[in-house]
Amino acid sequence: MRAGLALFLERGVDSVTIDDIVGVADVAKGSFYRYFSDKNALVEAIVAPLRESFGSALDATEKSLAEATDGIGLVRAYEGLALSLVPLALLYPDAIRLYLQESRAPGRGARAPIRALSDEIAERAVGLTETAIAHGLLRVDDPRVSAYAVVGAIEHLVLAVIQGRLELPPHRIVGTLIKLVLEGVGAR
């Protein structure tokens, strides 16, 4: 997995072959197939911890939003989401970089698990926005616009942190982003 991940980050998922991976890992090709049926399965294994962590964080946020009754509850729900995702950048920085590198490309071939995760995150973000609107916590004309903008901003911020272009404590980044977003979408 480490060899594949390093090669994917260097050259992109599509251009890396199984022969390349086993060459860098210094294992026989049969060893690869002992653990993975193909390159798709390897990519899926790399992003699996992200999928699980994102899903859990989004589930908790959905529950918090459903229980929120005012702007404070809204802020707490989104703070909880942000703070539950911050450790991922520390635990899985290379997997996050791979996700960010490959998530906007077509979801064909071995890139399919990454694109599927990206689409799932976008759909869930729209659902969170719809929940906040339904509870009278946000005012936006189209929840997709708000959700997609926020997801894009978060992804850009995470990449800046991973690349060392943004060196601020996570709580300051989270607080600033939440303030900007909620002021921009008209939190009640």
- The one-digit pLDDT tens for each residue of the chain (188 residues) are 999 999 999 999 999 999 999 999 999 999 999 999 999 999 999 999 999 999 999 999 999 999 999 989 998 998 899 888 888 888 999 999 999 999 999 999 999 999 999 999 999 999 999 999 999 998 888 999 989 988 998 888 888 888 889 888 877 887 888 788 777 655 54
Token pair recorded at residue 3: 């060899």
Handedness of CA 84, 86, 90, 95 (dihedral sign): positive
**Domains of the chain and any CATH numbers:** 47-185 (1.10.357.10)
Q: What is the DSSP letter of 141?
A: S
Rounded Cα distance, 40 and 21, in Å: 13
Residues with Cβ within 8 Å of residue 23, at least 6 apart in sequence = none
Question: Among candidates 18, 10, 90, which has minimal Cα distance to 49?
Answer: 90
Decide: 113 and 40 in contact? Cβ < 8 Å.
yes
The Cα–Cα gap between 171 and 149 comes to 20
- The DSSP-derived string for 40-100 is HHHHHHHHHHHHHHHHHHHHHHHHHHHH--SHHHHHHHHHHHHHHHHHHHHH-HHHHHHHH
Rounded CA-CA distance 47/42 in Å is 9
Task: Give the C-alpha separation, 96 to 156, whole Å.
Answer: 11
Structure tokens at 164: 């060392």
| pLDDT value of residue 139 | 87
Question: What is the reported pLDDT for 163?
Answer: 84
pTM given for the model: 0.89
pLDDT value at position 158? 84
